[in-house]
């Protein structure tokens, strides 16, 4: 069983819209979470498998990168 997940983030000032697809492209989850490091880290901690994440480059995109670097 392929356990890869592909995650798209649409980052806004107060919220992040998250879409998760499996390796076949099927949408398996959609969620709206707060634009807070702890909230995003908690969301990702609940996912299993190999995760590939993408997000739009914009004013708040760098915030997601800083959150990810802090989680290492």
How many domains in the chain?
1
pLDDT tens by residue, 13-62:
899 999 999 999 999 999 999 988 889 889 988 999 999 988 876 777 67
Contact 60, 12 (CB under 8 A): yes
For position 33, what pLDDT does the model report? 94
Closest to 56 (Cα-Cα) out of 47, 67, 65: 65
Question: Any idea what the CATH number is for the domain that residue 44 is in?
Answer: 3.30.420.40
b/e map 29-46, b = 16+ CB within 10 Å:
eeeeeebeeeebeebbee
Tell me: pLDDT of 71 over 70: no
For position 21, what pLDDT does the model report? 97
Higher-confidence residue of 63 and 5: namely 5
Residue 62, helix vs strand vs coil: helix
* Residues spanned by the domain of 12: 5-71
């Amino acid at each position: 069983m392929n356990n890869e997940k592909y995650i798209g983030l649409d980052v806004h000032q107060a919220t992040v819209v998250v879409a998760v697809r499996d390796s076949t492209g099927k949408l398996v989850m959609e969620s709206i979470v707060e634009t807070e490091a702890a909230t995003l880290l908690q969301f990702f901690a609940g996912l299993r498998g190999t995760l590939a994440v993408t997000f739009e480059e914009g004013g708040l995109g760098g915030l997601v990168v800083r959150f990810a670097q802090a989680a290492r």
